[in-house]
Chain A
């Protein structure tokens, strides 16, 4: 994807919402190697940040990876440059949710799941991924 002016505007929006400076990251990969669901997260944290650095924010916003981060905060805790990827993923999700697009539809939860899964999980999942 070509770098565009609007992509850098999107990057500025991500930085404002997350309070993180994307250029602080020097791509050591500590975040990705520590991520407990790194194998399921596409792109993983360091690659996601690289996309932002390259002006490819649109690509990241369209990815599955930002919805996979459960904010366990291992990446940010270990980052030698104090970049908190969980906040970046949160900001990307917020941009999408604020355009009134839900990722998870509460109506798709089955009755047995409702009966069984702790409500803490539902509230968290819906707050993180639905409008």
Chain B
């Protein structure tokens, strides 16, 4: 079984346990192992783009150095951690940036041993496992579930660094949903910002951005939304419960977990807003 170095990040240990737990269990079912790196620290939560603020990069530099001692692939799940780790690594590797890169590397105790590639769990499924092999592991197809895949910003931009998918019309999660037997719907705002952290001090702005996203998914016939970002999940799920209650917002790992045969207790549904279990029962998925 292929073993990957795994970086969960802070939110997956608390408010987004429902993203983490079923991801680990589903990986075992699919045929790879997530070995959590010991003594990881916060990635910084958001990339700092100013040209001279090196202190903001140090947390991620240390995580990358530590990971490089453990393996050649570092797997993430949280869209924010993924974005920050990838961008810091890109900054370290940028041609012409050797002086800054050296300063950052010598600032942390951990030494870089060999190159490490930051991969998102979705990239492992698509490129390392492969859709055909994954399809063979599906024991409970998500038949008739019409689902809108929401990518938000952090997975797809900046496109030349993330190298993930088309930044305007990404497809990976749509493809995954198809492999799991669900029906991905058209979704025009799949990569539009939900307002992100503005929910902390400008809830009104995050609310109107999120509402527009939910309305668009609904208008294309979606019954549920699937995402990989704890903040998108919170902004959308919280809002939809406050409005008409339709469109439960799941993590892709929860739907993957159902399809590969995880038990209800392993899905962490109690961390989703509203009554996701009731919805899944009504759809015959539980």
A-side residues, CB < 8 A to B, are: 16-19, 36-37, 39-40, 68, 70-74, 76-77, 84, 86-87, 90-91, 94, 103-104, 108-109, 113, 116-129
Is B159's CB under 8 angstroms from A123's CB?
no
A120 CB, nearest partner CB in chain B, Å: 5
B192 contacts chain A at the CB level, 8 A cutoff: yes
List B146-204 residues whose CB lies under 8 Å from chain A: 152-153, 157-159, 167, 192-193, 195-202, 204
B-side residues, CB < 8 A to A, are: 9-11, 14-16, 42, 44-53, 56, 78, 80, 152-153, 157-159, 167, 192-193, 195-202, 204-205, 208-209, 212, 230-231, 234, 238
Contacts of A73 in B (CB 8 A): 153, 157-158
Is B199's CB under 8 angstroms from A37's CB?
no
Contacts of B50 in A (CB 8 A): 17-18, 87, 90-91, 94
Contacts of A129 in B (CB 8 A): 201
- Name A's interface SS: helix
Contact residue among A86, A120, A127 (Cβ-Cβ distance under 8 Å from B231): A120
Contact residue among B49, B204, B234, B238 (Cβ-Cβ distance under 8 Å from A86): B49
Is A120's CB under 8 angstroms from B200's CB?
no
State A81–B37 Cα separation when bound (angstroms).
41
Is A123's CB under 8 angstroms from B46's CB?
yes
A–B complex contacts, Cβ < 8 Å, 5 sampled: A18-B51, A73-B158, A87-B50, A118-B11, A120-B78
